[in-house]
Each structure stands twice: as structure tokens, then as C-alpha cells.
């Protein structure tokens, strides 16, 4: 039975270098078509912002935050779309691409012939996913500042929170991908992802749902992400952000451990 051995303290430097080599490999193999994928991934939340945040917002009118402040509906929706963008970017890299490299390209079969270990593969792929997620987040924050939906100072503090969201969903994506059997399984993933997008406080507060549904919504990772980014971008106040951070950090660590264990079993069987 394969067990996961985390890098000892004396090996952290070497493990980090090996993880970086995995990330560098992904950068070295970029193609021109990949940049078109990046642009399309960025445009999706922007189109939602204009169609729903601005378009539907013209019908909804102003929106009252929990602290009593009145803001535009687009201002309320924008941080949630930022969270959704960070989720989508991270999941795209760590589900479809990770699964393809492991199941069909057999890329990692060659990687483990080097000193690189499964845990380092997971860290390297997660870092690569975060490069994509950080580009999405930074670009969307520029749009928010340009549209006066947040301030520059709040955008600067929101970016690290958005990166944490990407880390959490990247680790979750690798875990999910390790359980996938074929491409058809990703249809279910798409359905779950879209359901989270609709019912995570994205367009209405969780308080608008019946109590039972509200409790379910509030324990989902996208809701915690939306809550964290909305607090950071709008300054809604309260100590709830600490719960969000602990939730996302815990999810990241748990999923990294599970993903590396699963990868070890799949590669060494």
C-alpha cells in the first residue's frame, strides 16, 4: 500500500525546487491557442457583470448591504463574479488538464522517474493553476476599479483573498480529477459547478433562501469564497472573514493531501 510521506523540514528547499520545475514545464509548453483560452475565461465573468450586474441591476435598483450601506446591484454582484472567476480558472487547470496529463498523456509516469514525488507534482500543478487564476483575478479587479465598483486600496487587499480562493479550488479540482474514470464524468462536474455559481449568494444574499437551503449554501466552498471577497472588496465589516479564511485554508490542505495520496496510488499501481 502506497503511503504519503510529506517532505521533511530538511527537504523543503529541494521539494520546492522540484515543484517549481513542474510549473516551469507547463510554462515552457504554452501554445498560441492557450492565450485565446485565457482571454475567453476572463471575458465570461465580465459579460455576466454587464448583463446581470448592470442590465438586471437597472431593474433591481440599489441594494442594501448588511451594514446598512446602499450600493448599486453591480457593486454587490461583482465580488461574487470575481470568486466565480477564480474558481473556474483553477478548476479548468486542475480537472480537465490534470486528468488528461495523468490518464491519457501519461505525463506523470515519466515525471516520477525523476526525483519529483507525487506531492511535488500536486504543488507544481497547483502553482501553475494559480498563475492562471491570478491573471483572471487581477484583470477583473481592474475592471471593478474602472467601473467604480471598489477602490484601488480595497482591490489591492482583495487580490490575496482571490488567490486563496484559487488555491482552495485548485486543490479541490485535483482531488476530484483523481477520482474521474473518463471524460464523461466531467459532465457531472460541470453541473455541480454551475449549481454552485447560481446558489452561493452570487446574485442574492443567502438570507433570501429558506432556512434549510441557506444552511446548505453557507457550507459550500464558493459561498465562503463569495463572502470573503465581498467583505474584502466592499468592506462589509464583521469577523466572518476569519471563518472564511480558515475554511479555505483547511480545504486546501485537506485536498492537497488527498490528491497526492490518490496520485501516488494511480501512478505506482
Query: In this predicted structure, which of 71-75, 201-205, 264-268 has the lowest mean pLDDT?
Result: 264-268
Kindly state the DSSP code that residue 92 receives in the 8-state scheme: I
Task: Give the range among 62-66, 115-119, 230-234 with minimum mean pLDDT.
Answer: 62-66
Whether the per-residue pLDDT at 77 is higher than 60: the answer is: yes
Q: Which residues contact 138 (CB under 8 A, 6 or more apart)?
A: 159
Reduced to 3 states, what is the DSSP secondary structure of residue 66? coil
* Closest residue by Cα to residue 221 from 248, 181, 194, 185: 248
Q: Binning pLDDT at 50, 70 and 90, where does residue 239 land?
A: low
Task: Look at residue 3 and tell me whether its pLDDT is greater than 60.
Answer: no
Domain ranges of the chain: 36-268
Percentage of the chain lying above the pLDDT 70 cut: 91
The continuous run of DSSP H or E covering 111 comes out as: helix 107-111
What are the tens digits of pLDDT across the range 105-154?
A: 888 888 888 888 888 888 888 888 888 778 888 889 999 999 999 999 99
Q: Is a pLDDT exceeding 60 seen at residue 43? A: yes
Average pLDDT over the chain, rounded to whole?
A: 85
- Position with higher pLDDT, 69 vs 81: 81
| CA distance to 22, 147, 155, 187, 268, per residue, from 38 (Å) | 20, 22, 21, 21, 33
Residue 7 — very low, low, confident or very high, per pLDDT cuts 50/70/90?
very low
Cell numbers describing residue 41: 475565461
pTM, 2 dp: 0.86
Amino acid at each position: 500500500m502506497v503511503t504519503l510521506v510529506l517532505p521533511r523540514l530538511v527537504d523543503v528547499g529541494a521539494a520546492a525546487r522540484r515543484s517549481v520545475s513542474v510549473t516551469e514545464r507547463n510554462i515552457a509548453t504554452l501554445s498560441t491557442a492557450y492565450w485565446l483560452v485565457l482571454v475567453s475565461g476572463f471575458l465570461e465573468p465580465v459579460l455576466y457583470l454587464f448583463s446581470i450586474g448592470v442590465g438586471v441591476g437597472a431593474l433591481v435598483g440599489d441594494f442594501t448591504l448588511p451594514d446598512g450601506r446602499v450600493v448599486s446591484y453591480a457593486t454587490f454582484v461583482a465580488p461574487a463574479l470575481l470568486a466565480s472567476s477564480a474558481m473556474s480558472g483553477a478548476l479548468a487547470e486542475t480537472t480537465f488538464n490534470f486528468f488528461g496529463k495523468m490518464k491519457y498523456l501519461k505525463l506523470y509516469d515519466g515525471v516520477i522517474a525523476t526525483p519529483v514525488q507525487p506531492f511535488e507534482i500536486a504543488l507544481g500543478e497547483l502553482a501553475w493553476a494559480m498563475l492562471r487564476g491570478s491573471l483572471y483575478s487581477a484583470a477583473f479587479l481592474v475592471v471593478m476599479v474602472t467601473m467604480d465598483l471598489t477602490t484601488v486600496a480595497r482591490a489591492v487587499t482583495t487580490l490575496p483573498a482571490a488567490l486563496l480562493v484559487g488555491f482552495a479550488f485548485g486543490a479541490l479540482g485535483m482531488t476530484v480529477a483523481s477520482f474521474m474514470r473518463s471524460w464523461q464524468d466531467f459532465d457531472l462536474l460541470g453541473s455541480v459547478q454551475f449549481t454552485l455559481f447560481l446558489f452561493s449568494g452570487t446574485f442574492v444574499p443567502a438570507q433570501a433562501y429558506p432556512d434549510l437551503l441557506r444552511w446548505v449554501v453557507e457550507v459550500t466552498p464558493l459561498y465562503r469564497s463569495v463572502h470573503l471577497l465581498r467583505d474584502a472588496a466592499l468592506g462589509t465589516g464583521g469577523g466572518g472573514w476569519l471563518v472564511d479564511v480558515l475554511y479555505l485554508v483547511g480545504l486546501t490542505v485537506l485536498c492537497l493531501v488527498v490528491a497526492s495520496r490518490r496520485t501516488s496510488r494511480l501512478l505506482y499501481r
